[in-house]
Amino acid sequence: MATTFEAAKVLAMQLSPEQRADLADLLWVSAAQHADIDVAWAAEIEQRLAQVDSGEVETIPYDIVVAELRAKYG
């Protein structure tokens, strides 16, 4: 007889890709060390914003990125 874990995996694979992604997010959040992740993301966001604000890095508009990727891979 299948374990609860095996049964859950079988059921999860029957979900749509979007539902599986939502479930993965939910499981990750439930298992992760929230404080450490939140602090790390906050520091990363601050660093990236400072780089944009200072002109150290330049952002690329979404439309251009998508067009370039489609031209390269599509």
Residue numbers in the chain where pLDDT is lower than 70: 1
pTM above 0.95, yes or no: no
**What is the pLDDT at residue 1?**
58
**What is the pLDDT at residue 37?**
82
**What is the pLDDT at residue 20?**
96
**3-state per-residue secondary structure call for the chain:** CCCHHHHHHHHHCCCCHHHHHHHHHHHHHHHCCHHHHHHHHHHHHHHHHHHHHHCCCCCCCHHHHHHHHHHHHC
